[in-house]
Structure 1
Amino acid sequence: MLGALAALSLAFGGLGYVIARRVTAPVGPRRFDLIVRGVDDSGETPVVILSRTAKTEVVGKFNLILESGAWVRLGPEVHDVGAGLVGRDVEQSDVPPSLVPGVRASWSGIYFRTPADAGLHARDVETITSAGPAPAWLIPPDEHESGDWAIHIHGLGSSRAGTLRGVQVAAAAGLTSLVVTYRNDGEGPRVGSGRSTLGALETDDVDSAVRYALEQGARRIILFGWSMGGAIALQLASRSGVREHLAGIVLESPILDWVETIKANCARAGLAKWVGALAVPWLNSKTLSRILGLAAPVRTEQFDRVSAEMRSSFPILLIHGTADTSAPFELARKFAQAHRSVELAAVDSDHTLTWNPEPGRWRARLSLWLSSLGTGPT
């Protein structure tokens, strides 16, 4: 009996280790799991033919990243071009020569590859973190500068380019934007095993970016956090030296509770939801997290924002997809109910894809909220 219990305990511990390793995995190569079935050049706009999947049949603006490295921006319409196939319009004049039938590709909600693609003028700068220099884009507002700065924080496994959808709105609202990187995100400094601490140490790196903004003359700070970047933004909001300058927070598909998020993703993968809790000791224990390859324990309890009290009440715009398969919408709803300062905008979309179905509506909602803060030139 004791042997059976020991074996069961060992098995559960091993499963928790595997899940924790998966969650904190270093940034890996992009998966090219689509094949271009054809390209129709007969009309005014080329149409890419793809297999119909849960992603490719969604109405909205998306990107097709080819194995060659080229990006192909796609329009919002979905054309039915045959059994099991969809057609998507190419929304750019410079069609890459590598866009041919048979090429492998990857689907992405990141629409702009560079600030220039988004019509923005950026300057490359560095913020100095304890992990080393972290590259960032410094982007001025469209017109007159002010003392209002936006710090844009991307999510786990994503890139800073994903935040450019929000930078466009910030620039139009008169905000100077700092689009940051942080340790082990694939662009910032690589440290140790390259694993993520899910915001535990990454928050320190973004804290350095906030201080850079203040040294450059920022008077008020607005944090824009995407996915794990949202968890980082909420951590920063409680820190002395940041909260005194904070005017508001924009959260796009934020992680509001790591434990519940891991459980939900286990359930989506076909496992029992409770299995996700087996990863928690590996993430929280100083000894086990070191075995896992982490530079510091995560301490998941500090990222439970749903049940925690906020020390200060900042205006928060929370944009979240009701069909989010990574960060449960139910957590966003509970968070908004628990905090009066939170304005929840629900969109029928998946994780960090609330911009893509209706960019104009997304921009208008964010612009209106920013104007309520009195941002821009005074």
Structure 2
Amino acid sequence: MTDSRRHAARQHRGWARLAIAASSTATAAAAIAGVFALVFARLIVTPPRRPNNDIRILSVDRDSGLISFTVHANSVFDGKFGVWFGKDAGYLKVGEIVRLGARSVTRRIISIDEGAPVPGDHCRFSSWFYRDPAELGYAVEDVEIATEFGPAPAWRIDPGPQAVNDGGIPGSHWVIQVHGRGVDRRECIRAVPVFRDAGFTSLLVSYRNDGIAPASDDGRSSLGDTEWRDVDAALDYAVARGASRIILMGWSMGGAVVLQTITRSRHAEKVVGMVLDSPVVDWVTELEHQADLFRVPRFLRVIVFGALARPWGRLVTGQSAPIDFERLNFVSRARELTRPILLLHSTGDTYVPPTASAALAAARPDIVTFPAIDHAGHTRIWNRDSDVWTARIAEWIRSTSGVR
């Protein structure tokens, strides 16, 4: 073989090896990307259990009633918040920001409810503020709602004797509060006073896979597509006790659950209105937003939605049934809604942006009240200004035909 032929043969073998290596690398990259997409899909329907304590306490001055934290997106929000610390064994409440520097933020201590905060403690901020409805000074009854998976705990708070509703029938007006994803019924305690003053019995419910109610067989979230059945069971409970004019209030994913309930429940005629705080109105819009935050490429999003919405996805997500995203889209289904809605959603919500809420309000201005709200985070409108938040709900109850 001549030198030129040997050289050509070596080149050919070299290019072949490069082609094989490149092909193998591309295949491996595609496989890794596909695994990432499937993991992402599984995370979406797996109820979170481990909160992130990613803020640190820097100093505590009990004499002056001040506490300092590391600067974090959550520690610098204006308003009043709860703070979990000491591996969740401690809890305190903070108010106004006194000083804000490049690395620390100092806030006013409202109360230290449990434990003793010390510098170095890792902590996290909570928009709940209250941990128990008894903190409000009202009588609270622990009740159980009969669901398909067993009894689900709920809190019932009746209106005071001085509260009067327009129905004139004691016990006829109820509000059922539905919390969001990854939290529990404590999220809803903030709403009790305004409804109690308006003469409503409050029922703060738990639902499947929230860590309080019995879990479903698959232990997975369906983003409202099945959770609504537990709210329907709560409607059974309320109607059996005289409720005839019911408001459904949903927070975050609880908004998606409420929208499923109003369109699928056999008790829908008893529901006179809905209040939605930072709701997920369309899950595709929300998941696209989350994919943008995590910089998920477009081609991988197809895999994610396929895993969630197709029967084959159960092999990786653990879901017992696929999710019907079109059924969860209340921008496209806006015309099916007939009850008045108070939609509270801030332009400052970066977790569930108000894009779909604004689209629903634009599609149904005849039934949707959508006040302009700025500079509040996700489910933190009450925290930023509880007086304004309360006044908006109270005015909506007073002025909306059919609600009272």
Q: Same fold (TM over 0.5)?
A: yes
Name the aligned partner's letter for residue 174 of structure 1: G
Q: What's the % identity of the aligned pairs?
A: 34
Distance 2:106 2:132 in 1: 26
Deviation at 1:119, TM superposition (A): 3.2
CA contact (8 A) 1:147 1:220 kept: yes
CA contact (8 A) 1:249 1:317 kept: yes
Deviation at 1:97, TM superposition (A): 4.1
- Give 1:140's aligned residue: 158
Distance 2:34 2:151 in 1: 37
Deviation at 1:241, TM superposition (A): 1.9
Distance 1:113 1:10 in 2: 45
Structure 1: where are the runs of 5+ without partners?
none
Distance 2:315 2:132 in 1: 36
SS where residue 56 of structure 1 aligns? Answer: coil
Matched, 1:26 2:69: no
Distance 1:7 1:162 in 2: 44
Which is further off, 248-257 or 275-284? 275-284
Deviation at 1:345, TM superposition (A): 2.2
Deviation at 1:82, TM superposition (A): 5.2
What pairs up with 1:184-199 in 2 under 5 angstroms? 184-199=209-224
Matched, 1:323 2:344: no
- Give 2:357's aligned residue: 332
Matched, 1:346 2:334: no
Matched, 1:69 2:89: yes
- Give 1:86's aligned residue: 105
- Give 1:355's aligned residue: 382
Deviation at 1:138, TM superposition (A): 0.8
Distance 1:352 1:338 in 2: 23
Distance 1:83 1:327 in 2: 27
Q: 1:152 and 1:41, CA in 2 relative to 1: closer, same or farther beyond 3 A? A: same
Name the aligned partner's letter for residue 316 of structure 1: I
SS where residue 91 of structure 1 aligns? Answer: strand
CA deviation vs aligned residue, 1:183-237 (integer Å, no higher than 9, x gap): 1011110233422111121111111111111011101110001111101111111
Q: 1:208 and 1:214, CA in 2 relative to 1: closer, same or farther beyond 3 A? A: same
Deviation at 1:81, TM superposition (A): 6.3
Deviation at 1:91, TM superposition (A): 0.9
Structure 2: where are the runs of 5+ without partners?
1-18, 164-169
What pairs up with 1:5-20 in 2 under 5 angstroms? 13-20=34-41
Q: 1:68 and 1:208, CA in 2 relative to 1: closer, same or farther beyond 3 A? A: closer
TM-score, normalised by the number of residues in structure 2:
0.86
Q: 1:351 and 1:273, CA in 2 relative to 1: closer, same or farther beyond 3 A? A: farther
SS where residue 123 of structure 2 aligns? Answer: strand
CA contact (8 A) 1:201 1:296 kept: no
Matched, 1:183 2:208: yes
Distance 2:99 2:55 in 1: 17
CA contact (8 A) 1:68 1:98 kept: no
SS where residue 48 of structure 1 aligns? Answer: strand
Distance 1:166 1:226 in 2: 11
RMSD: 2.3
The correspondence for 2:133, drawn from 115, 127, 139, is 115
- Give 1:256's aligned residue: 281
Matched, 1:200 2:225: yes
Deviation at 1:366, TM superposition (A): 0.6
Aligned residue pairs, count: 372
Q: 1:97 and 1:197, CA in 2 relative to 1: closer, same or farther beyond 3 A? A: closer
Q: 1:6 and 1:245, CA in 2 relative to 1: closer, same or farther beyond 3 A? A: farther
Deviation at 1:41, TM superposition (A): 2.4
Matched, 1:300 2:318: no
Matched, 1:279 2:304: yes
TM-score, normalised by the number of residues in structure 1:
0.91
CA deviation vs aligned residue, 1:277-316 (integer Å, no higher than 9, x gap): 4311111112313541112222111111112243341100
Q: 1:7 and 1:81, CA in 2 relative to 1: closer, same or farther beyond 3 A? A: closer
Decide which structure has the larger Cα Rg and report it: 2
CA contact (8 A) 1:110 1:161 kept: yes
Q: 1:58 and 1:70, CA in 2 relative to 1: closer, same or farther beyond 3 A? A: same
Q: 1:364 and 1:273, CA in 2 relative to 1: closer, same or farther beyond 3 A? A: farther
Deviation at 1:127, TM superposition (A): 0.6
Matched, 1:236 2:257: no
CA contact (8 A) 2:55 2:75 kept: no
Distance 1:272 1:52 in 2: 31
Q: 1:334 and 1:375, CA in 2 relative to 1: closer, same or farther beyond 3 A? A: closer
Distance 1:132 1:346 in 2: 41
Name the aligned partner's letter for residue 104 of structure 1: H
Matched, 1:42 2:59: no
Matched, 1:128 2:146: yes
CA contact (8 A) 1:222 1:250 kept: yes
CA contact (8 A) 1:122 1:139 kept: yes
Name the aligned partner's letter for residue 371 of structure 2: A
Name the aligned partner's letter for residue 41 of structure 2: A
